[in-house]
């Protein structure tokens, strides 16, 4: 579209003037991914926020991602172009609820998925993402860990550790609606295709998968595989990167309705407006950020 082209040019000019970097999650709309300096999974974007040059980060994703960037780079200005882009799973546990669980299991450290509020991170010992959850859990000394908030990721990690996982009952509204029936239907349509799923899927879906990985892990697997056809069990925004980075492979969504509405709230106009007004800016109160930083830095060190 002509209008989009102009907005794109404006963004590139403003980005230069402001010395800003644009980070986009793999689930972002295609046109947003296309103007980003880096598109990646939660861990790659957290690392980039901590290390990339630039005074301003425009975070095209959901609120906990922008909060994490603010916590690890407090000297940078972090903008979330779609102010109301949240992660419903992150809202499924509060800091007070976590304090209650901690009082029941005082010897168990808390591993929190990065999909949590800053307040919950502040109450946690170490953070993890989908790509390092097993490593993080195995890195703690204790024999049992409180794992919040994703029960499915908790169950997945349990397969690879001798430690006892005490999972919170949260879930991702997008991945949890994928069922074994979706897998059977997709297999009937694409016999022989390799099934790749995200660890936020239910255990019974994980059981049917050939490979389980974070969003960027899925992309790497497709690009490096000798196979030609893949069924992709995660949010459909990932298909854009798969087409760009693995053009010789055929990728089919496991569920056409696996769409994260919050990830789709960002558009080019909101990115441009954020660069003009330097709003909406994500601020995390210093006292909470200081406590949450420990959990994130411990994860980045693993």
The answer to whether 105 and 166 are in contact (CB under 8 A) is: yes
**Pattern 201-240, ligand 13P, x by CB under 6 A:** -------------xx-------------------------
- Assess 41 for contact with ligand 13P (CB under 6 A): yes
Residue with smaller CB distance to ligand SF4, 54 or 170: 170
- Binding partner of 124, given ligand SF4, ligand 13P, none, CB within 5-8 angstroms per partner class: none
Residues touching ligand 13P, count (CB under 6 A):
11
Residue with smaller CB distance to ligand 13P, 47 or 269: 47
Q: Taking Cα atoms as reference points, which of 284, 274, 280 lies closest to residue 18?
A: 274
**Pattern 152-191, ligand 13P, x by CB under 6 A:** --------------------x-------------------
CB of 70 to ligand 13P, least distance (A): 18
- Phi, psi torsion values for 189, nearest 5 degrees: -75, -35
**Pattern 249-268, ligand SF4, x by CB under 6 A:** -----------x-xx-----
- Binding partner of 88, given ligand SF4, ligand 13P, none, CB within 5-8 angstroms per partner class: ligand SF4
Residue with smaller CB distance to ligand 13P, 219 or 288: 219
Where do runs of H (alpha helix) occur along the chain? 2-18, 30-35, 42-51, 63-72, 95-104, 118-122, 133-139, 151-158, 180-189, 203-206, 215-224, 238-245, 268-277, 286-301
- Assess 111 for contact with ligand SF4 (CB under 6 A): no
The answer to whether 293 and 71 are in contact (CB under 8 A) is: yes
**Residue positions counted in the chain:** 302
User: How far apart are alpha carbons 48 and 37 in whole angstroms?
Assistant: 10
Contacts 24+ apart (CB under 8 A), 182-190: 182/233, 182/254, 182/255, 183/208, 183/209, 183/231, 183/233, 183/254, 186/231, 186/252, 186/254, 187/231, 189/252, 190/229, 190/231, 190/252
Which of residues 39, 42, 255, 266 is near ligand 13P by CB under 6 A?
A: 42
Token readout for 230 is 């893949």
Which of residues 7, 14, 26, 80 is near ligand 13P by CB under 6 A?
A: 26
Residues touching ligand SF4, count (CB under 6 A):
13
Token readout for 244 is 């760009």
CB of 87 to ligand SF4, least distance (A): 3
User: How far apart are alpha carbons 254 and 171 in whole angstroms?
Assistant: 18
Residue with smaller CB distance to ligand SF4, 7 or 39: 39
Residue with smaller CB distance to ligand 13P, 33 or 115: 115
Query: Which residues are near ligand 13P by CB under 6 A?
Result: 26, 41-42, 115, 129-130, 172, 198, 200, 214-215
Which residues lie near ligand SF4 (CB under 6 A)? 62, 87-89, 115, 172-174, 200, 235, 260, 262-263
């Amino acid at each position: 579209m002509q209008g989009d082209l102009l907005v794109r040019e404006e963004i590139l000019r403003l980005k230069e003037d402001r010395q800003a970097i644009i980070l986009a999650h793999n689930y972002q709309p295609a046109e947003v991914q296309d103007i980003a300096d880096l598109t990646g999974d939660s861990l790659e974007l957290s690392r980039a926020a901590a290390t990339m040059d630039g005074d301003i980060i425009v975070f095209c994703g959901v609120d906990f991602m922008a909060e994490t960037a603010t916590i690890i780079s407090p000297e940078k200005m972090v903008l979330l172009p779609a102010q109301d882009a949240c992660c419903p799973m992150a809202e499924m546990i509060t800091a007070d609820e976590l304090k209650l669980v901690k009082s029941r299991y005082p010897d168990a450290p808390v591993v929190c998925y990065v999909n949590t509020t800053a307040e919950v991170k502040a109450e946690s010992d170490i953070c993890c993402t989908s790509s390092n959850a097993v490593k993080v859990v195995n890195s703690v000394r204790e024999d049992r860990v409180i794992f919040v908030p994703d029960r499915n990721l908790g169950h997945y990690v349990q397969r690879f550790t001798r430690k006892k996982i005490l999972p919170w009952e949260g879930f991702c509204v997008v991945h949890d609606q994928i069922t074994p029936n979706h897998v059977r239907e997709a297999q009937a349509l694409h016999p022989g295709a390799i099934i790749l799923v995200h660890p936020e899927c239910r255990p019974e879906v994980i059981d049917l998968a050939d490979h389980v990985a974070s969003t960027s892990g899925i992309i790497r697997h497709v690009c490096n595989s000798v196979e030609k056809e893949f069924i992709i069990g995660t949010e459909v925004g990932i298909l854009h990167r798969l087409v760009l980075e693995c053009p010789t492979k055929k990728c089919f969504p496991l569920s056409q309705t696996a769409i994260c509405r919050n990830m789709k709230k960002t558009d080019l106009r909101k990115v441009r407006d954020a660069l003009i007004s330097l709003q909406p800016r994500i601020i995390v109160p210093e006292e909470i950020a200081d406590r949450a930083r420990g959990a994130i830095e411990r994860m980045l060190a693993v």
